[in-house]
Structure 1
Amino acid sequence: MNNPVLDHERAEFLKARAILGKVPLPAWARQAKELNLIELEVDWVRFSTLNHRTRGEQRAEIARTGHLSLFAEDPLGPAAQNAQYAILREQYGFTDLKADLNDRAQQEPAVITADGVLINGNRRAAALRSLYLDDDRLGAHYVKCLVLPADATPTELVDLETELQIAFDFKQAYGWINEAFLIEELFERENKDFARVATRMHRDVSDIRSLYEKLQQVHQLVGLSSGVRHHIDFNDNESAFDELSKHIKNKQPGEAEAVRSVYFLGTLSEVSYRKLRHLRRPDAASIVRKELESDPSLKQILALADQTSFETSAIDILDDVLGEGAQSGPLTPFLSLLACKNPNEALVLDDGNEVEVRDILDSLQSAITAAADEAGEDERDKTAQTTPLVRAEKAFGELKRALEALPRARAFSGFDENGMADRIARIRKLLDEYPGSTS
């Protein structure tokens, strides 16, 4: 059966290539797992623009160029392919991969569609292409590939990519943002069943759900930024989004908005997530706002944000991003103002002066860090106040259980009465040391 999506001219070219042999591909879901192994010029194969490994970077590139259909309009054309090649070259570990291929050559075959689009091996093919074109390594001129059947469906291709690249040993190269994008796609495809997605990806359901929920928070922050920030910008902030999504999961809307605003502002200003965790509390936004108001420069920005919120309605922005019923809090206008500003631009204040957004973020980082330190001290003070009560309650419970177990213990001839009496005496002596004790 012909696949109308295939480029038939390229498919005919592949059919004419010499077959080096048959190689089994265990991850291929069909029963006929042996595929033709062929050799192709490394600049002839096409990178997959549907590759989930680069989904976040693609979104950023689309926003940067303003070309909404860059990777969809003509995925095998020069614009999409050059952009995808550039993305692959810039990913973490590309230099090491090139060095390894230069030393050991290609060890595992890539996997391509019947018209030469890479389903697995995009990074390796990009590294080989760079070795051949940039470093003049003639040994990198060809890439060995396994060819999938011409009637392979898009669903089968996504499943194969999942099996080959996510389920086993390629997780690190994806980055959590791109992995979460794949989970989100599979979640929608599998009737919103996390268990089915977990089975597909050979992962625990809790891991799958966690990545999905973290991505929803990133969606919200990117949405608030109106295109200024991109998902891939937050690839290094997984811990912050993990703690945020877990904390607000079952909280009331007011507390959820307070903690979310603080975490979003902290992430934008590069506050350590270890500091932010002290602000997982209902009054988080109020604590941070108080700190901002104590800084004259930030107080001006707060006033500007509050004024702007009346004109543009920050709650309308929240409704667009978080859905109807979203609550505004003490930091909502401030977050709405800063999230959509590029760090390199300037903000004009009411008095006509300009201030660099980057300088605002630096001051914000200091203010949130100070608020987090104060909250941490408060937590320690509360812990110090309650520690004697908590430990006394535990001791009471243990003593009560010991006395309840005493009759049964005495039923045995070997019970140590003297030992028990000694322990009770020590307890009474210890109680006498309690200040103000009348016992």
Structure 2
Amino acid sequence: MIRLPNPMLDQERVGMLRGREPTRHVLVPAWPREQKELPQVEVEVAWVRFSTLNHRTQAEQRREIHRAGQADLFTADPLGPAAQKAQYRILTSQEGFKELKADLRDRGQQEPAIITAEGVLINGNRRTAALRSLYHDDDWLKARYVQCLVLPEDAQIDELVDLEAELQIARDFKQQYSWINEAFLIEELYDREGKDFGRVARRMHSDVAKVRDLHDKLQQVHQLVDLSKGARLHVDFTENESAFTELAGHIRNKPAAEADSVRSAYFLGTLANVEYRKLRHLRRADAAQLVQREIERDPALKPVLDAARSANAADSSDDLLDDLLGEDAPAQPLNELLGLVAAQTPDANLPLDNGDKVSTRQVLSSLRSAIVAAADEAADEAADQSAVRAPLSQIDKAITALKRIRKDLPKARAQAEWDEHPFGLKMDEIRGLLNEIEGL
């Protein structure tokens, strides 16, 4: 198949790379084409460009877009100064960046980066950012150049995404992904592969259950972010993976009413910083009712509930919830409050019906106490129910064991080494226990 050069490439930059004499050719098994050897060249660290399509930074990019108020920050001119400065800021602020710089200074660049024919980094963004920081900020002259493998000039976007998916499998690359950013990559592949989780799993060299789980969790985060109307971003929920894992898993095959109830309780609990170990006790059909009851017991939260009802009547919060949860999902008591609280940043002041304002942090703190109380009540009820069921469950096990004894006893008695005396003692013990139980 003949591949034509990409006319969208910056030909001046392409020509610069084309003129570089490769120091060697390196086999890259992750490159999807049959010809997997790529030329390695040395280029100035300030010349290469960071990839704004990097899935490792998707959540962080959304935060930068929100801060700048510029929806096309990374798409209008991906190689321009605004997008590149923002992407560099993201890379240098990621966890472990200082350690990465120290390692590069001690050991140097151990693996070449991978760039497109116009010098855009497909792999090695963080390492290159670290080298650039060492060169410009720390004046370490050995970091002036970066070793890069150059992709063909006709490389297509789909091939670059496939390459990233292959590379992120390796441990060294995978550590650079947050679960949300990995889910963004899965979501893109899922849409591209005809919404077939099997095909996505094969692309990711993973199993269907894992990619589906990440995709489902991301959909829940999408809903909460949409509900917040810009007050919250995907990156804000990176630390809440366990809560979204349990939520997505529980509601996957539940009726709409129960799914909505549990989702509302989990969303409000996540915003209020309730530990997922507490929230898991609210995986029940009446979760929203339990939480609402505890909220109504707190006099300090009554003005907030009134404000939520007023806001719901005045705007489209309920319409958004209907869109997110489905038109057939019955209204839950928490939805009005959730719509109000989600749309507030923690530092904002929430307006009340009487004209006063209350700190959103204060409201979230009160909500946390109410949700924890509801979760504790649910846990106690579950323990009580378990205690009620325990005797019957245990007697079923005893009956099963006695039936097994009845089957095995004749065979055992037929053996020469069988001793009837200890067996008789055990039978007397059983009879005694039965008499005690009947007398309780």
Moved more, 23-32 or 287-296: 23-32
| Counterpart for residue 95 of structure 2 | 92
The residue type equivalent to 2:128 in the other structure is: A
2 CA distance for matches of 1:141 and 1:316?
A: 55
RMSD between superposed Cα atoms in Å: 1.6
Q: Does 1:312 align with 2:318?
A: no
Corresponding position of 1:264: 267
TM-score by length of 2: 0.95
The TM-score, its normalising length taken from structure 1, stands at 0.96
Alpha-carbon distance between aligned partners in 2 of 1:252 and 1:165, rounded to the nearest angstrom: 36
Alignment of 1:165-176 (within 5 A): 165-176=168-179
Q: Distance in 1 between matches of 2:237 and 2:216?
A: 14
Q: Does 1:346 align with 2:349?
A: yes
| Structural mapping, 1:9-88, within 5 Å | 9-88=12-91
Partner SS, residue 332 of structure 2 = coil
Cα deviation digits, residues 129-153 of structure 1 (max 9, x gap): 1111111111111100000111111
**Match in the other structure for 1:158:** 161
Q: Does residue 239 in structure 1 map to residue 242 in structure 2? A: yes
Partner of 1:211: 214
1:141 is matched by which residue type in structure 2? Answer: R
For 1:416 and 1:80, locate their aligned partners in 2 and report how far apart those are by CA, in whole Å: 85
Pick aligned residue for 1:300 from 277, 298, 303? 303
Asked if residue 199 in structure 1 is aligned to residue 202 in structure 2, the reply is: yes
Counterpart contact for 1:292–1:298, Cα < 8 Å: yes
Q: Report the secondary structure of 2:437's partner residue.
A: coil
SS at match of 1:396: helix
Aligned residue type for 1:181:
F
Equivalent of 1:396 in 378, 396, 399? 399
The answer (yes or no) to whether the contact 1:167–1:201 under 8 Å persists in 2 is no
C-alpha distance in 1 between matches for 2:244 and 2:319: 24
Paired residue type of 1:130 = S
What amino acid sits opposite 2:48 in the alignment?
A: V
AA paired with 1:343?
P
Aligned to 1:3: 6
Q: Structure 1: how far apart are the matches of 2:365 and 2:414?
A: 71
Deviates more, 1:248-257 or 1:113-122: 248-257
Report how far residue 252 of structure 1 moved: 1.3
Instruction: Pick which of 165-174 and 185-194 moved more.
Output: 165-174
Q: Aligned pairs, how many?
A: 437
> 1:321 — aligned with what?
324
Contact 1:38 1:144 in 2 (8 A): yes
Contact 1:167/1:203, CA 8 A, preserved across alignment: no
SS of 1:38's equivalent?
strand
Bigger drift between 57-66 and 378-387 goes to: 378-387
User: Which stretches in structure 1 are left out of the alignment for 5+ residues?
Assistant: none
Give SS of 2:176's match. helix
Contact between 1:167 and 1:202, CA under 8 Å: does it hold in 2? no
On the 8 A contact 1:347/1:355 being kept in 2, the answer is: yes
1:381 alignment partner in structure 2: 384
How far apart, in 2, do the equivalents of 1:259 and 1:288 lie? 10
Mapped partners of 1:364, 1:24: distance in 2: 56
The residue number in structure 2 matching 1:179 is 182
CA shift, 1:293, in A, is 0.8
Instruction: Give the Cα separation in 2 of the matches to 1:153 and 1:291.
Output: 55
Cα deviation, 1:382-414, whole Å, max 9, x if unaligned, reads 222322222122112211232234445555555
Q: Distance in 2 between matches of 1:169 and 1:71?
A: 26
Q: Structure 1 residues 9 and 162 mapped into 2: Cα distance closer, same or farther (>3 Å)?
A: same
User: 2:375, 2:152 → 1: CA distance?
Assistant: 57
Aligned to 1:430: 433
Shift of residue 168, structure 1, vs aligned partner: 4.1
SS at match of 1:60: helix
Q: Tell me the secondary structure at the aligned position of residue 350 of structure 2.
A: strand
**1:287 maps onto 2:290 in alignment:** yes
Q: Distance in 2 between matches of 1:326 and 1:406?
A: 57
Correspondence for 2:138? 135
Quick one: structure 1 residues 213 and 167, their matched pair in 2 at CA, closer, same or farther if it must change by over 3 Å?
Answer: farther
* Residues 158 and 193 of structure 1: CA distance in aligned 2, closer, same or farther (over 3 Å): same
Corresponding letter in the other structure for 1:76: L
Q: Is the 8 A contact 2:306 2:353 kept in 1?
A: no
Match of 1:123 in 2: 126
Distance (whole Å) between structure 1 residues aligned to residue 258 and residue 216 of structure 2: 18
Q: Given the alignment of the two structures, is residue 229 of structure 1 paired with residue 232 of structure 2, yes or no?
A: yes
Counterpart code for 1:125 = T
Deviation of 1:59 after TM superposition, in Å, equals 1.2
Offset of residue 169 of structure 1: 3.3
What SS does structure 1 have at the residue aligned with 2:76? Answer: coil
